[in-house]
Copies of this chain bind each other. A is one copy, B any other.
Amino acid sequence: MHRGYAGTRLSDVADIAEVQAPAIYYYFSSRDDLIEEAVAVGLARARALVEEALAQAPEGLSALDRLGVAVAAHLSTLLTHSDHAAAAIRTVPQLPETMRARHRQAERDYIQIWRGLIADARAAGEIDTGLDAGVSLMVVLGALNWSAEWWDPSRGSLEGVIATAQRLVVRGLRADGGGPPRT
């Protein structure tokens, strides 16, 4: 799957599934249909895992720390819990336009979660007002998404990566000064 949309051969999929290529047509009506479902499931998975992590986060966390929780969940999804989700996220930009359009809503839904986290942090005065919120979000997600391209266990522990990414993101976004007033 790391070969991208065009590079993923149906026979590769079949090999992994340990069946012959035509058997796939018993379950999917075409290669595109298969990829589409894989991406849809991957996106849904990523979203579900992040939402779950947020739901299980301890009460009383600052908005920015909740964003840190999402960062950890997204990264750990991408890097371990599911190749599936990682492949989906990285594949989306390569999809042919008509196919990508069909996932736009799922993409938006996922990004919406992040937008909400940033908006909350902003409302709480925890975010540097010198940053463009929309751009910041994409930069942060980019940092996370690209990680699947370079990280492998030999490059340090997963926890180390998560900790560094989290800290980098949270402190990069944080408002100056004494921090937000505790309300």
Partner-B contacts on A (CB < 8 A): 2-7, 93-94, 128, 130-132, 134-136, 138-147, 149-151, 155-156, 160-161, 163-165, 167-169, 171-174, 178-179, 182
A168 to B175: give the CA distance in the assembly, Å: 11
Asked whether, in the complex, the Cβ of A139 is within 8 Å of the Cβ of B135, the reply is no
7 residue pairs, one from A and one from B, having the closest CB atoms: A142-B146, A172-B172, A6-B7, A143-B143, A4-B4, A6-B6, A135-B164
A143 to B143: give the CA distance in the assembly, Å: 4
Asked whether, in the complex, the Cβ of A135 is within 8 Å of the Cβ of B160, the reply is yes
Which residues of B lie under 8 Å from residue A164 when comparing CB positions?
131-132, 135-136, 139
Which residues of B lie under 8 Å from residue A167 when comparing CB positions?
128, 130-131, 172
Using CB atoms, name the residue of chain B closest to A144.
B142
Asked whether, in the complex, the Cβ of A139 is within 8 Å of the Cβ of B156, the reply is no
Q: Return 12 A-B CB contacts under 8 Å, by A number.
A: A4-B6, A5-B7, A7-B7, A134-B155, A134-B156, A139-B143, A142-B146, A142-B150, A143-B143, A143-B146, A146-B146, A172-B172
Using CB atoms, name the residue of chain B closest to A142.
B146
Asked whether, in the complex, the Cβ of A139 is within 8 Å of the Cβ of B134, the reply is no
Q: Report the minimum CB–CB distance from A56 to chain B (whole Å).
A: 20
A147 to B139: give the CA distance in the assembly, Å: 7
Using CB atoms, name the residue of chain B closest to A151.
B138
Asked whether, in the complex, the Cβ of A94 is within 8 Å of the Cβ of B3, the reply is yes
A91 to B144: give the CA distance in the assembly, Å: 18
